[in-house]
Amino acid sequence: MHDFVRPKLEPTVEKPSASEIERMVVSDDECTATDGCPVEPDGYCPHGYPSWLLHLGIM
């Protein structure tokens, strides 16, 4: 079952710096979720936290 409407969880880690965000944008497979887990740039970690790119509206 795919549930694309998820409640928005508050980030549990510090927001990455601009250069870290930029690296996530240019690198296809190095992205972290808002709780610090490694995720796909347009994905969610197993705990339901979105990638920073999703959270910031970049993806």
Dist CA 43 CA 40 (whole Å): 5
SS3 for 21?
A: helix
Phi, psi of 54 (to 5 degrees): -70, -45
Q: Identify which of residues 25 and 37 has a Cβ nearer to Zn ion in the complex.
A: 37
Q: Identify which of residues 20 and 35 has a Cβ nearer to Zn ion in the complex.
A: 35
Nearest Cα neighbor of 29 from 40, 17, 42 is: 40
Segment 26 to 45, residues that bind Zn ion, using CB under 5 A: 35, 37, 45
Encoded one letter per residue, x for contact with Zn ion by CB under 5 A and - for no contact, window 7-26 reads --------------------
Positions that interact with Zn ion (CB under 5 A): 35, 37, 45, 47
